Structure 1
Amino acid sequence: MSRSTDLGLAALAPVIWGTTYVVTTQMLPPGYPLTAALLRALPAGLLLLAVTRVLPPRAWLGRLAVLGALNFTLFWAALFVAAYRLPGGVAATLGAVQPLVVLGLARLVLGTALTPARLIAACAGLCGVAALVLGPEARLDPLGAGAALAGALSMGLGTVLTRRWQPPVPALPFTAWQLTAGGLLLLPLALVFEPALPAPDAASIGGFLWLGLAGAALSYFLWFRGIARLGPETVTGLSFLSPLTAVLLGWLVRAETLSPLQLLGAAVVLGSVFLGVRAGPGGQPAPNPR
């Protein structure tokens, strides 16, 4: 399969993630962030386990617990704290430091080259997201800002370790293992910190199905596949497409207006993504310890 096809498939993941805000606010009951994350991760992981029928070796359980915690449990919990304590634009902008985090960690952990083109693309993407989503109501809450940065660090480290710890299986079972691990770690948090979910209606069922099947099972399979085939330093720049998709959906679905500054931010985001993928592979694949 060509590199262009791999890039296109990997780019679908952040585009799908960009629908999360609209689906969550329009279709799910409010006030259940951990339960929503649990129902997004665990059923998707179990479904993929049933499809692949490949269980992880016992020696991999520790690594899967780390990856599940970084990519799902800690990342989603931090996102929800940031979302509750910060305006959406501030949270999205702080989260957009993730590509810079990945570039630094990929250099330290994988030994990949830290090229000027990638640094420029990551910084330009961050500025583009800021122009796209920051508004006059922007404010910084220390706890919310810390949570947003912790989420970016968690997902960034999880992205790099997903490449570092490549098991001898295809991407689909590897995705199933991580989703299941992350969901199992979310289960006690949801049970302890949130009340029971109310009886679902048709809208919430549809929302949970979309977030589980498309927003977790499909998107993370494409994301982890992209990491394995293209490297984390290439794939992470595609994450700027997520806030861009969210803003465009707000314009299409909720009739929100786009200012000239937002249009400029959208153009900068697209330019940063183009520059990032044009930079080519960042280095040779890391050794695969068993």
Structure 2
Amino acid sequence: MQGSSISPSVLTTTASNATRGLLLGLAGVVMFALSLPMTRLAGGSVEAPQLNPAFVAFGRAVVAGLLSVAYLAVTGARRPRGGEWRLLAFTAGGVVFGWPLLSGLAVRHVDAVHAAVISGVLPLATAVIAALALRQRPSPAFWACAVAGLALVVGFAAWRGAGGLEMADGLLLGAVVCASAGYVSGARLTGGMTAEQVICWVLVISLPVTVPVAVMTRPTAPVAASAWGGFAYVSLFSMWIGFFAWYRGLALGGTLRVSQVQVLQPFLSMLFAVPLLGERLDAMTLVFAAAVLAVVWFGKRQPVDTRSAP
């Protein structure tokens, strides 16, 4: 019987790439999981405010944008062309402006543990928007998971709000929609440029807006050193380095396989919030978080017909 035509060295390389991809993907998820606690640390709460949420949102984009200018220059990346500019602008609206600003405003009013549960439906929301934007046909089980995920986070928000929804919950859901839409439009750009170049160009074209807003909202009174630490983290890791690790992990290990680790993000966010912010975890919050994780994981495994609907 003829042996396999794939050499052992190729198999070893493939397995090594898969492992590296998973590790890089996990590293990206860990960096993103710290985003909500660090945003809360930077902006403070209503009772003890620190940096203006607008400064945190736009200032971090300025820092990452300047780093992106250097990266694009050093790597000799080509300039976007044609319709890519429109997709870059749409992506910026979601991941540079929408998510950071809305989530930053929200975590001034609710703790990071609360925000982590609500934002836990982000992977499923991204899949829903992708299906709608690309006119795909997910299975009924997929749509059932999407509805169940929304019902869970709304139920959790109502429970935490003593029977009603708070403004912060609406801001968080809006942030999820913005981020999901930005991820989908950004993914459409990766056919013509690398994922790292996409996020860099998104940040660079945002500088004409982010720089003046950051200057206008800069702090005029002293703030805690911990707030600046939180700001530095979301600028360097949440807005820049995390995307490099995440996208490289997807490329090496495969999108379907590596993206599954993203379901761990809300749990990691909650765990980080305990030592960083002194927040507490209760049993019911963990139950809701586990239910959201299960629905997202199951939903991402449902078949989607990638042919465009008529």
**TM-score (normalised: structure 2):** 0.69
Q: Does structure 2 conserve the Cα–Cα contact (< 8 Å) formed by 1:118 and 1:279?
A: yes
CA shift in 2, pair 1:224/1:185, >3 Å: farther
TM-superposed deviation, 1:271: 3.3
TM-superposed deviation, 1:260: 2.7
Aligned residues: CA RMSD: 4.0
Verify: 1:74 aligned to 2:98, yes or no: yes
In the alignment, which residue of structure 1 is the partner of 2:88? 64
Verify: 1:151 aligned to 2:166, yes or no: no
Q: Does structure 1 conserve the Cα–Cα contact (< 8 Å) formed by 2:118 and 2:153?
A: no
TM-superposed deviation, 1:158: 1.2
Kindly provide the amino acid, as one letter, of the partner of residue 248 in structure 1: L
TM-superposed deviation, 1:134: 7.2
CA shift in 2, pair 1:11/1:129, >3 Å: farther
CA shift in 2, pair 1:55/1:110, >3 Å: same
Question: Which secondary structure does the structure 2 equivalent of 1:169 belong to?
Answer: coil
CA shift in 2, pair 1:115/1:223, >3 Å: farther
In the alignment, which residue of structure 2 is the partner of 1:140? 165
Kindly provide the amino acid, as one letter, of the partner of residue 140 in structure 1: L
> In the TM superposition, what are the counterparts of 1:189-200 in structure 2 within 5 Å?
189-192=213-216, 194-196=217-219, 198=221
Post-superposition Cα deviations, 1:174-223, rounded to whole Å, max 9, x if no partner, equal 2211223345433333344x254556775455433322222121222344
Give me the whole-angstrom Cα distance separating, in 2, the residues matched to 1:86 and 1:204. 17
Verify: 1:263 aligned to 2:286, yes or no: yes
TM-superposed deviation, 1:73: 0.8
Kindly provide the amino acid, as one letter, of the partner of residue 127 in structure 2: L
Query: Unaligned 5+ residue runs, structure 2?
Result: 1-13, 45-49
Q: Does structure 1 conserve the Cα–Cα contact (< 8 Å) formed by 2:149 and 2:296?
A: yes
Q: Does structure 2 conserve the Cα–Cα contact (< 8 Å) formed by 1:96 and 1:126?
A: no
Verify: 1:247 aligned to 2:270, yes or no: yes
In the alignment, which residue of structure 2 is the partner of 1:212? 235
**TM-score (normalised: structure 1):** 0.73
Rg bigger for which structure?
Answer: 2
CA shift in 2, pair 1:49/1:116, >3 Å: farther
Post-superposition Cα deviations, 1:18-72, rounded to whole Å, max 9, x if no partner, equal 2134334446671411211223222223323323422523433333222111211
In the alignment, which residue of structure 2 is the partner of 1:33? 53
Give me the whole-angstrom Cα distance separating, in 2, the residues matched to 1:85 and 1:201. 19
CA shift in 2, pair 1:178/1:270, >3 Å: same
Question: Percent identity among equivalent residues?
Answer: 24
CA shift in 2, pair 1:225/1:183, >3 Å: farther
Q: 1:104 aligns with which of 113, 125, 128?
A: 128
Q: 1:19 aligns with which of 16, 31, 34?
A: 34
Q: Does structure 2 conserve the Cα–Cα contact (< 8 Å) formed by 1:11 and 1:238?
A: yes
Q: Does structure 1 conserve the Cα–Cα contact (< 8 Å) formed by 2:35 and 2:238?
A: yes
Q: Does structure 1 conserve the Cα–Cα contact (< 8 Å) formed by 2:88 and 2:186?
A: no
TM-superposed deviation, 1:170: 1.7
Kindly provide the amino acid, as one letter, of the partner of residue 238 in structure 2: G
CA shift in 2, pair 1:82/1:21, >3 Å: closer
In the alignment, which residue of structure 1 is the partner of 2:184? 160
TM-superposed deviation, 1:105: 2.3
Post-superposition Cα deviations, 1:53-95, rounded to whole Å, max 9, x if no partner, equal 2252343333322211121112222223333456666655554
Q: 1:221 aligns with which of 216, 227, 244?
A: 244
Give me the whole-angstrom Cα distance separating, in 1, the residues matched to 2:241 and 2:287. 31
Verify: 1:47 aligned to 2:67, yes or no: yes
Query: Unaligned 5+ residue runs, structure 1?
Result: none
In the alignment, which residue of structure 2 is the partner of 1:173? 197
Give aligned pairs, total. Answer: 281
